[in-house]
A and B are shown apart, each in its own frame.
Chain A
């Protein structure tokens, strides 16, 4: 639960810390989120900065590990023209029955999940057969220079905020049994919009 404490601590300043990323990635997210369909599970909603980029009319269940983050998210969720239910839950042990959701969305979540393999296994369990998983995540670059920078910075960010910059999320997704349909670079080969299915 060390991750939970870290996110609880930074919840008040999270919007400010992430505002640059939110502005940079707005266009790519607006386009990517058009694929959201049916019953949607949003994993790691945080303060809900991405809600503004969702298409209207969706029925979303959003989870986060941090109660403080969810409290910050509340007003954004209430303003969304659709429905967003906020639930305090850990990705690694979801309380939903098997095959509950048609689409699962994660945005910069799997850099912070303590055991990504376990988290992805749980997501596969709650996704309906043929259901889509959409991941807007940062991963380790294949370029050795960028990879070296990310690995050195990850040493610091993992300790400060629990954020790992050296994850192979696409590889982990395949290992968890998902099929990867597309993998689009948003910034270099570090920030990616990944689409897959069960």
Chain B
């Protein structure tokens, strides 16, 4: 298996899913702060489920670390954006997917610098 390819794909899909779920869960005009908190909570719940589903296939820590960051950050962003209003769910989902990919890239970079011997 080529984890260098699989990891960013999983992170991108998870980011999209979390943003989509947060955008659907938070109604428009909910208020930015409550929207952010609700989106963050929604993202954390979803990342928890995804982590336990993916761990046996992709490794515990390699799934847990990126998905936790994606769940919280992308969930908060998705919830806040949905509460702001005027942005279609499709757009929020795309932004979530790109954020997931970005987080995966940061972790990949951190891992490369920490494991270089």
Does B56 make an interface contact (CB < 8 A)?
A: yes
Most chain A Cβ neighbours within 10 Å, of B56, B57, B60, B110: B60
Which residues in chain A, 4-54, are within 8 Å of chain B measured between CB atoms?
Answer: 16-21, 23-25
A23 and B1 within 8 A (CB): yes
B65 and A20 within 8 A (CB): no
A149-B68, A187-B62 known; A19 vs B57 contact (CB < 8 Å): yes
Shortest C-beta distance, A21 to chain B (Å), equals 5
Which residues in chain B, 61-117, are within 8 Å of chain A measured between CB atoms?
Answer: 61-65, 68-69, 107, 110-111, 114-115, 117
Does A185 make an interface contact (CB < 8 A)?
A: yes
Shortest C-beta distance, A105 to chain B (Å), equals 20
Chain A residues whose CB sits within 8 angstroms of the CB of B57 once the complex forms: 19-20
A24 and B65 within 8 A (CB): no
Does A186 make an interface contact (CB < 8 A)?
A: yes
Residue from A21, A146, A184 within 8 A of B117 (CB atoms): A184
A17 and B56 within 8 A (CB): yes
The chain A residue sitting closest to B115, CB to CB, is A185
Does A58 make an interface contact (CB < 8 A)?
A: no
A186-B115, A188-B111 known; A145 vs B60 contact (CB < 8 Å): no
In the bound assembly, the distance between CA atoms of A23 and B64 in angstroms comes to 16
The chain A residue sitting closest to B66, CB to CB, is A149
**Nearest 10 A/B pairs, CB to CB:** A20-B59, A24-B59, A149-B68, A185-B115, A185-B114, A20-B58, A21-B59, A20-B57, A189-B114, A17-B56
B interface residue numbers (CB < 8 A to A)? 1, 3, 54-65, 68-69, 107, 110-111, 114-115, 117
A interface residue numbers (CB < 8 A to B)? 16-21, 23-25, 138, 143, 145-146, 149, 152-153, 184-191
